[in-house]
A and B are shown apart, each in its own frame.
Chain A
Amino acid sequence: MSKFKKKKGGDLPAVNTASLPDIVFMLLFFFMVATVMREDTLMIENRLPSADQIEKLEKKNLVMYIYVGKPSSSYKAKYGDEARIQLNDKFAQVSEIQAFIAAERASKREEEIPYLTTSLRVDKEANMGIVGDIKQELRKANALKLNYTTTQGDVSNNN
């Protein structure tokens, strides 16, 4: 009889949180694996143009980044208002690109060198003059694989 009697007045049992750390750890590991740390601190404005005929860049470790844009507000006083090149963590001249490519190549294994791609991350307000100079330097350095990095979107967003 009393076996089937409902228990009355019992407190709501506390939810067991013993597995909470496990769940959180699972999420943590996911994000740890998926994270790509920002390699360079940007000192320039870098709003990429949008395009829709794009290909993905595979193998992030085989990509060399060249940033171009106006110096951001904290560097404006020192470096002026013209679009400039940033390599690694500092401003650079066009003439330094060849040395940069050579340094990047030296840090890779020999068999990887032909797959190195240059990613041009150029601010959309920059002029073609500086981009053309960079391209000429890349040709001289024989780094011919190039990717104009853009965001996904319609070209009408560019204006």
Chain B
Amino acid sequence: MAKRSAPEVNAGSMADIAFLLLIFFLVTTTMEKDSGISRKLPPIEESEEDVVIKQKNIFTVLLNGKDQLLVEDELMELKDLRAAAVEFLDNGGSTDNEGNSCDYCKGKRDASSSDHPDKAIISLKNNRETSYKAYISVQNELVGAYNELRNRRALEIGPQKGFRDMNFTEMQKNYKDVNWPGNKVKLEEVIDQIKKEYPQKLSEVLE
């Protein structure tokens, strides 16, 4: 008997099977990437020395159990917080610890407000009853204040280092981006310099 060739497999339903799988993956896919406000917690230190900080270098933000905002002992709306924080940080009334005055500050140089961005500390106090959404809103505004100053500084010193029209947020994004074609060593220098000029000093207390 002659050998019969094997019958061809009907591939007509291949598309159906593939569609089924496709729909399954379509439904289970979550495209969103996690993002949020990044913070670094202070490590627990055994020996706590009392550091004396001048009252004028502290910007107190108090958030009570009813989500009311008290900034430097005055009631404030959330939308005004960022501007107030910028004004405080950028004041540059005096000098830092090494005696350098803040030549990049554009504030009022008010003697009764912060001396130098390097010395300025934002103290955020919140209550156990404070809601998380209010806390995040305040955090967001404070981070926003720092970013505003850093972005401004980046636009000032960026062009001298060859990074034209790039603000601080974009610099950080490019630095992380593996496909970015520019000079990363130089970019890191600029980022570090800006971070040093406007350091994020945020202390948190939970009452």
Interface residues of A (CB under 8 A from B): 17, 20-21, 24-25, 27-28, 31-32, 34-38, 49, 51-58, 60, 63, 68, 117, 119-120, 122-129, 131-132, 135, 138-140, 142-150, 152, 155, 158-159
The 10 closest A-B pairs by CB, nearest first: A129-B128, A124-B133, A132-B206, A31-B25, A149-B36, A51-B140, A158-B133, A24-B18, A57-B34, A155-B137
Nearest Cβ on chain A to B197's Cβ, whole angstroms:
19
Shortest distance between the CB of A35 and any CB in chain B (Å): 5
**Contact across chains for B18 and A126 when beta carbons are under 8 A apart:** no
In the complex formed, the residue of A with least CB distance to B13 is: A21
Q: In the complex, which residue of chain A has the Cβ closest to the Cβ of B36?
A: A149
User: A21 is contacted by which of B15, B128, B132, B136 (Cβ under 8 Å)?
Assistant: B15
Q: From B141-149, B157-165, B182-190, give the one contacting chain A.
A: B141-149
Q: Does B10 contact A (CB under 8 A)?
A: no
Residue of B nearest to A31 (CB): B25
Are the C-beta atoms of A128 and B131 separated by less than 8 Å? yes
Chain B interface (Cβ < 8 Å from any Cβ of A): 11, 14-15, 18-19, 21-22, 25-26, 28-31, 33-44, 78, 126-137, 139-141, 143-144, 147, 172, 176, 206
Cα distance A24–B181 in the bound complex, in angstroms: 35
Give bound CA distance, A152 to B140, whole Å.
11
Interface of A is mostly: mixed
Contacts of A129 in B (CB 8 A): 128-129, 206
A114 to chain B, nearest CB (A): 12
Q: Which residues of A contact B31 (CB under 8 A)?
A: 34
| Bound-complex Cα distance A144 to B41 (A) | 5
Rounded to whole Å, the gap between the CB of B160 and the closest CB of chain A is 26
Residues on the B chain within 8 Å of A146, using CB: 38-41
Contact across chains for B25 and A53 when beta carbons are under 8 A apart: no
Contact yes or no, A139 B132, CB < 8 A: no
Bound form: Cα–Cα A17–B15 in Å? 9
Taking the closest CB of chain A, its distance from the CB of B173, in whole angstroms, is: 9
Q: Which residues of A contact B33 (CB under 8 A)?
A: 56-57
Task: Check A128 against B22 for contact (C-beta < 8 Å).
Answer: no
A135 to B139, CA, bound (A): 15
What A residues does B18 contact at CB under 8 A? 21, 24-25, 28
Rounded to whole Å, the gap between the CB of A50 and the closest CB of chain B is 8
CA distance A145 to B41 in the complex (A): 7
Given contacts A124-B131, A159-B133, 18 further A-B contacts (CB under 8 A): A21-B14, A31-B26, A35-B30, A37-B28, A38-B28, A51-B36, A56-B33, A124-B132, A128-B132, A128-B135, A128-B206, A135-B206, A138-B41, A139-B41, A144-B42, A150-B140, A155-B141, A158-B133
Across-interface contacts of A25 in B (CB, < 8 A): 18
> What separation, in Å, do the CA atoms of A24 and B133 have in the docked complex?
43
Q: Decide: A139 near B43, CB < 8 A? Known: A54-B36, A158-B137.
A: yes
Q: Which of B28, B37, B134 contacts A148 (CB 8 A)?
A: B37
Hey, which chain B residues are within 8 Å of A148, CB to CB?
A: 36-37, 39, 136, 139
Contacts of A68 in B (CB 8 A): 132
Asked if B41 and A122 make an inter-chain contact with CB atoms under 8 angstroms apart, the answer reads no
Cβ 8 A contact of B34, one of A35, A119, A138: A119
Pairwise interchain contact B28-A35, C-beta atoms closer than 8 A: yes
Please measure, in the bound complex, the distance between the C-alpha atom of A40 and the C-alpha atom of B33, giving whole angstroms.
16
